[in-house]
Structure 1
Amino acid sequence: MSPESKQAFFERQERNIALHGFTTVSVVGEAHSFSYTVGLHKSYHHPEMLVFGLPPKIAQGVLSDIARKVKEGEPFNLSKPNDKLLEDCNVFFVEVPKSAFSNYVLSAIRFNGEQDFSLFQIVWPSGLDNRYPWDLEADPEFVASQPVLGVPAFKS
């Protein structure tokens, strides 16, 4: 990405955050595809959120649902499974260690600057067999598409 393109990207992010309190970033890669929020921490004192393996449009919708609830003063309890975010399944929220931030959420690091912030990963089950990445019987391809970056507080 050229310096001009980067500058335009960051300006667009900052406009979206000023208008909506947050923005999302999607990264589509060979190894992993993921999306995350930027702005939830500064705007609402809420952890930033990250999700792997969902198509960008779906991931952005999920992240926007979380941001809307946070903005309305009704954030999800990140210490418990949640069945209201995705249809017909529980999702788990896993705190991501700070040592992993620079591998995934560069725009959030840039935006939050020196401010310390938290990051939680949304972990969802496979639609084929309702298995989570940590389940021994989970499909290896599914596990590879959704690496779990932290230690789940609750497991299925």
Structure 2
Amino acid sequence: MTQRFTRAQRAAHENHIGSSIAEYGCFVLSVFDPDGDEAPFSYSVGIAMDSGHPEVIVFGLSPKLGAWVVNEYNRQVRAGKKFRPGVAYRGFLEGFPVYVEPASPRKAANFMFACNRLYGDFGYPVVQVVIPSTAGAWPWEKAAPRAFRRIQPLICQPAARESSRR
């Protein structure tokens, strides 16, 4: 079921997004399918505008945890952190490293509709926070369960990996 907004509702929502970007450096949208057929995901709106860093998307987490990961990425880049492809980072999910990989803007546009509206034809850089399964498998590994790969589609091209066992 697609929700339709009136012009007034859409304008109020756009104002809320703008206020959040001005105050926090981004707005976070979490999307989930109540039937569980599609992967849940959370993404930022406004990071590229506020700090010049890429927008971020993460798949496969609950809306609350996904929003936390997006906000943590925003906090770190606003503090000056530079993420490099192929490097495992800790501090996003307790006990698990993550990768922060450049995402395909074309593929990201299929998920990040609020960013599409904000940036229009100018496009925007995007990174994907890639998480491991609870057993430590990455979605590009053969050991990763099919269901896990389904809830975490890769819209990035994973780089060569440093060890994530640090």
Paired residue for 1:42?
49
The count of corresponding residues between Structure 1 and Structure 2 is: 154
The runs of at least 4 consecutive aligned structure 1 residues that moved more than 4 Å come to: none
Match of 2:5 among 2, 9, 22: 2
Residue 134 in 1 paired to residue 140 in 2? yes
Residue 106 in 1 paired to residue 113 in 2? yes
Scaled by the length of structure 2, the TM-score of the pair is 0.85
How far is the alpha carbon of 1:61 from its aligned partner?
0.9
* 1: CA distance, partners of 2:133 / 2:84: 20
Residue 94 in 1 paired to residue 101 in 2? yes
* 2: CA distance, partners of 1:102 / 1:117: 9
Residue 12 in 1 paired to residue 16 in 2? yes
Cα pair 2:105 2:123 within 8 Å, conserved: no
* 1: CA distance, partners of 2:27 / 2:160: 28
How far is the alpha carbon of 1:106 from its aligned partner?
1.0
Residue 154 in 1 paired to residue 160 in 2? yes
* 1: CA distance, partners of 2:84 / 2:29: 21
Counterpart of 2:118 in 1: which secondary structure? helix
* 1: CA distance, partners of 2:109 / 2:121: 14
Amino acid in structure 2 at the alignment position of 1:19: E
Match of 1:62 among 65, 69, 77: 69
Instruction: Note the residue ranges of structure 1 that are not aligned, 5 or more in a row.
Output: none
- The one-character-per-residue Cα deviations of 1:53-75 (angstroms, maximum 9, x if unpaired) are 100111111111111112222x2
Instruction: Note the residue ranges of structure 2 that are not aligned, 5 or more in a row.
Output: none
Residue 22 in 1 paired to residue 29 in 2? no
* 1: CA distance, partners of 2:64 / 2:102: 23
* 2: CA distance, partners of 1:49 / 1:108: 10
- The one-character-per-residue Cα deviations of 1:76-131 (angstroms, maximum 9, x if unpaired) are 4232221222222221122211221321111112112343421011110111x111
Aligned identity (percent) is 28
